[in-house]
Amino acid sequence: MKTIRRILVANRGEIALRVMRTCKRLGIETVAVHSEADADARFVREADLAVCIGPAPSAESYLRIDAVLEAARRTGADAIHPGYGFLSENAAFARACAEAGVVFIGPTPEAIEAMGLKREAKLLAEKAGVPVVPGYDGADQSPEVIAAKVREIGFPVLLKASAGGGGKGMKLVTSEDGLLDAIASARREAEGAFGDGTLIVEKYVTSPRHVEIQIVGDAHGNVVHLNERECSIQRRHQKIIEEAPSPALDPELRAKMGEAAVKIGKAIGYRNAGTVEFILGPDRSFYFLEVNTRLQVEHPVTECITGLDLVELQIRIAEGHALPFSQADVRLDGAAIEVRIYAEDPAAGFLPQSGKLVDWHLPELEGVRVDGGVQSGDEVSIHYDPMLAKIIAHGGDRLEAVRRMRNALRRLSAQGIATNRDLLLEILDHEAFLAGRLDTHFIERELGTDLSRSPSAESVHLAAIAATLRASEERVAANTVVPRGVPKGFRNNPHSPAWCEYELGEDVVRVEYRFDPRTRRYDVAVGEARYEVELLSIQGHDVSFRAGGVRRTARVVASGEHHYVLVEGASLRLVERPRFPDRSVEVVAGGCLAPMPGKVVEVRVAEGETVAAGQVLAIMEAMKMEHRVTAKEAGVVKEVRVSAGQQVDADAVLFVVEPAE
Ligand code: ADP
Ligand code: ADP
Ligand code: MG
């Protein structure tokens, strides 16, 4: 037995804060390690001690084993919690911790090796008698052999990075066309993101559910499962909504899948919290996918329904204690759901977003837990995963949990960069979701491939009114020219109302208003609609007003010409138009712009080359993912303005293509 007194958390953001929260409750001191980009982040400020371990790119900071261990030595940390991602499934790191005399809060290096890699884990599951997805897990990794195996298995197939995670390094291949390209690209992503280019091939199962079992094992040979989580709502093979229990499982199937997971855990004497992932077919048959030998992003839903603190269990297990309960003691209380808030634009293929988070606000609500890592004013960096926070709702049953979540999301103000908030709300309100009819293709099938949505006319009107009221009050308060006693909205010419124009996407919203000093009300016209408006109060960002006989409170945050408004669950950004139109910005004709800031990995065309519409011109890497820059139309490449390895800003002109006649 070892008593842990000070834990270094080798991670950042939301998960670092989550681990530290349990440490504080247990009276354990905390050490944060961070990159230069995170020097002022919340998790750094909330730790007892913090050490900067290098520049922004993860490879030069969070992934540096030597720097993390040096920080542990310097701060006297006696244990390291790796969180998830980064070094959490790195056997060499677990080994280096042991050599440095620091407790690694996780499984043994041998277990990570046996299960942290998809290839080894599948072989092990098969041996334990657990069904696996048909595929190729061979040691021969030459592209030709892999291609031959793909043909043998039959399309469609998934290429996966054996060391992968987070839906990254995975490629769906539906036909011979582009097969070798896909293998090369999957390998490159695998090497770049996980430092290991080993690939496995799996038959692509159509329309499965993703159901996983949480297990915990101690150093005394006990392994129990803590029920399942359903994680079928995904984009890019990555979960965005998770829940426990799964609407698809009854006690019998739960027991069967639980037993399969425990069998795998016991086969290698698993010690730590871990997750055994399965895909579940409509016929209730299930296939092993992989084991995650660490805490999962979605662990909070399990904590809600079992009443356990998984981080506390991890710490106790690492100290050498036996599990304080047995399988029969594990509870399943109500239902819980988690959503992941990502800085990404669902309408643009879920393109990760970076920039300033102008406003981040969510009031405290009963039954709702927020595992967050950000606050208003934070810069969301291109260097890390774009997940901003998780919201978890717990209820007596699924409907209550979903309703609480919906309410929380409607009250979340996440402004400044695009997020998936509205998409999550649309899913939660969807009839098929409410009925529990889920599978991993839910989003494409139920919501379509075009995920751009326009706000309702009413929410646009209310938002424009709220923004205008706030701005007008501010102008009056700041205006020293207006003589005292002159009412707001005063104009020499009473027939010409005050006005303001906002851009909302492609549309222009014009607000005209006239203040009547006798009634203290505004007569407002937004487009064709008219409202009688009364401003009730402005407190901080909350603007309370009556419009059309209904009292409401909107949250309005202004930043330059941008007005971010949250009103009745709708989140909008109105861009105030200058009174005198700007010169239009010069755009290079046929220019191909960088979709986001990032690094150019490969340039595929040269000057003078003829290109077809949709042809890949370059490959960029940002947010740990590859993005293809393609030609919008056929033509001739007139200019190549970048080279491989170059770092570029969003909207930088990468190529100039002269369109073909
Ligand atoms: P990761 O390590 O990135 O989590 P997984 O192997 O767990 O990779 O797969 C992630 C997701 O991809 C699964 O939840 C599922 O939606 C999808 N997926 C994985 N393997 C298959 C498969 N063979 N057939 C269909 N979908 C799959
Ligand atoms: P469009 O360009 O399609 O007309 P918008 O002007 O609303 O649409 O948005 C342009 C881009 O600005 C979007 O693709 C998105 O990335 C970003 N964006 C949209 N709404 C917001 C918001 N509330 N906060 C920050 N960024 C936003
Ligand atoms: Mg997985």
Q: What DSSP string describes 437-450?
A: ---TTHIIIII-S-
Do 196 and 311 lie in one domain? The reply is no
| Sequence-ordered list of residues with C-beta below 8 angstroms from that of 76, at least 6 positions apart, any chain | 6
Residue 613, pLDDT score: 85
Distance 265 CA to ligand 1 centre (A): 20
Q: Which atom of ligand 1 is nearest to the CA of 204?
A: 24
Given a cut of 50, whether residue 482 has pLDDT beyond it is no
Provide long-range contacts, Cβ within 8 A and 24+ apart, for 231-236: 231/298, 232/208, 232/438, 232/439, 232/440, 232/442, 233/427, 233/433, 233/438, 233/442, 233/443, 234/167, 234/210, 234/440, 234/442, 234/443, 235/346, 235/350, 235/443, 236/167, 236/350
Structure tokens at 89: 């499934």
Given a cut of 60, whether residue 273 has pLDDT beyond it is yes
Domain boundary among 163, 178, 203: 203
What CATH number is associated with residue 354?
3.30.470.20
Among protein residues, the one with the nearest Cα to ligand 2's atom 4 is 505
Do 43 and 153 lie in one domain? The reply is no
Do 495 and 643 lie in one domain? The reply is no
**In 495-585, where do the E strands start and end?**
498-504, 507-516, 521-526, 529-539, 542-547, 550-559, 562-567, 570-576
Number of neighbouring beta carbons within 10 Å of residue 341: 25
In the chain, pLDDT over 70 holds for what percent of residues? 95
Strand, coil or helix: 52: strand
| Sequence-ordered list of residues with C-beta below 8 angstroms from that of 34, at least 6 positions apart, any chain | 12, 41, 43, 44, 50, 51, 52, 53, 61
Mean pLDDT of 137-145: 94
Catalytic residues: 294
CA 337/CA 298 separation, integer angstroms: 9
Cβ of residue 230 lying under 6 Å from some atom of ligand 1: no
The answer to whether residue 539 sits within a structural domain is yes
Q: In a mutational test of the pocket of ligand 1, which residue from 118, 157, 174, 210 has the highest number of ligand atoms less than 8 Å from its CB?
A: 210
The answer to whether residue 113 sits within a structural domain is no
Distance 237 CA to ligand 1 centre (A): 6
Do 555 and 506 lie in one domain? The reply is yes
Cβ of residue 210 lying under 6 Å from some atom of ligand 1: yes
The answer to whether residue 631 sits within a structural domain is yes
Which residues does residue 157 pair with via DSSP β-bridges, in sequence order? 173, 203
Please tell me the chain's helix, strand, coil percentages from 3-state DSSP, rounded to the nearest 5: 30, 35, 40
The answer to whether residue 122 sits within a structural domain is no
Domain boundary among 174, 203, 232: 203
Given a cut of 90, whether residue 556 has pLDDT beyond it is yes
Cβ of residue 242 lying under 6 Å from some atom of ligand 1: no
CA count, 13 A, side-chain hemisphere, 358: 18
Of the two residues 482 and 454, the one the predictor is more confident about is 454
Domain boundary among 63, 84, 105: 105
What SS3 string covers 246-313?
Answer: CCCCCHHHHHHHHHHHHHHHHHCCCCEEEEEEEEECCCCCEEEEEEECCCCCCHHHHHHHHCCCHHHH
Residue 483, pLDDT score: 45
On whether the CB atoms of residues 530 and 548 are closer than 8 A, the answer is: no
Structure tokens at 362: 């969510």
Distance 461 CA to ligand 2 centre (A): 18
Confidence class for position 494, pLDDT limits 50, 70, 90: low
Do 216 and 320 lie in one domain? The reply is yes
Do 531 and 423 lie in one domain? The reply is no
Q: What is the pLDDT of residues 296-326, one digit of tens each?
A: 999 999 999 999 999 999 999 999 999 999 9
Structure tokens at 162: 């054996």
Residues with CB under 6 A from ligand 2: 345, 348, 353, 415-418, 505-506, 573
Number of neighbouring beta carbons within 10 Å of residue 370: 16
On whether the CB atoms of residues 468 and 513 are closer than 8 A, the answer is: yes
Mean pLDDT of 175-191: 93
Q: Which ligand is nearest to the CA of 571?
A: 2
The answer to whether residue 196 sits within a structural domain is yes
DSSP 378: P
Cβ of residue 296 lying under 6 Å from some atom of ligand 1: no
Longest dimension (CA), the chain: 87
Q: Which atom of ligand 2 is nearest to the CA of 572?
A: 23
Q: For residue 514, which amino acid is it?
A: R
Number of domains in the chain: 5
The answer to whether residue 583 sits within a structural domain is no
Do 438 and 496 lie in one domain? The reply is no
Do 505 and 436 lie in one domain? The reply is no
Output phi, psi for 340, to 5 deg.
Answer: -105, 125
Confidence class for position 485, pLDDT limits 50, 70, 90: very low
> 248, 232, 247, 245: which is closest to 289 by C-alpha?
232
Mean pLDDT of 526-553: 96
Residue 66, pLDDT score: 98
Given a cut of 80, whether residue 139 has pLDDT beyond it is yes
Cβ of residue 179 lying under 6 Å from some atom of ligand 1: no
Structure tokens at 578: 């200058």
Distance 4 CA to ligand 3 centre (A): 30
> 158, 155, 152: which is closest to 183 by C-alpha?
158
Do 191 and 214 lie in one domain? The reply is no
Of 212-221, 446-455, 639-648, minimum mean pLDDT range = 639-648
Q: What is the pLDDT of residues 63-117, one digit of tens each?
A: 999 999 999 999 999 999 999 999 999 999 999 999 999 999 999 999 999 887 8
Residue keyed to tokens 């996983």? 212
> 402, 182, 165: which is closest to 295 by C-alpha?
165
The answer to whether residue 346 sits within a structural domain is yes
> 414, 391, 386: which is closest to 571 by C-alpha?
414
Distance 354 CA to ligand 3 centre (A): 25
What CATH number is associated with residue 632?
2.40.50.100
CA 95/CA 80 separation, integer angstroms: 12
Q: What is the pLDDT of residues 441-453, one digit of tens each?
A: 999 999 999 999 9
The answer to whether residue 308 sits within a structural domain is yes
Q: In a mutational test of the pocket of ligand 2, which residue from 358, 417, 572, 593 has the highest number of ligand atoms less than 8 Å from its CB?
A: 417
Among protein residues, the one with the nearest Cα to ligand 2's atom 12 is 418
Q: Which atom of ligand 2 is nearest to the CA of 573?
A: 23
Q: How far is CA 523 from CA 456, 474, 528, 540, 542, in A?
A: 22, 19, 13, 24, 21
Do 254 and 396 lie in one domain? The reply is yes
Do 155 and 169 lie in one domain? The reply is yes
Given a cut of 50, whether residue 486 has pLDDT beyond it is no
User: What b/e string do you get for 586-598 counting C-beta neighbours within 10 Å, with b at 16 or more?
Assistant: eeeebbbbbbbbb
What CATH number is associated with residue 85?
3.40.50.20
Distance 417 CA to ligand 2 centre (A): 8
Residue keyed to tokens 């851009």? 503
User: Which domain covers residue 47, as residue numbers?
Assistant: 6-105
Structure tokens at 242: 């998770």
On whether the CB atoms of residues 158 and 202 are closer than 8 A, the answer is: yes
On whether the CB atoms of residues 620 and 594 are closer than 8 A, the answer is: yes
Do 283 and 418 lie in one domain? The reply is yes
CA 233/CA 485 separation, integer angstroms: 58
> 156, 158, 116, 123: which is closest to 138 by C-alpha?
123
CA count, 13 A, side-chain hemisphere, 467: 35
Q: What is the pLDDT of residues 575-634, one digit of tens each?
A: 999 875 443 333 445 668 887 788 899 999 999 999 988 888 999 887 767 788 888 888
Mean pLDDT of 495-518: 90
What CATH number is associated with residue 494?
3.30.700.30
Residue 318, pLDDT score: 98
What CATH number is associated with residue 199?
3.30.1490.20
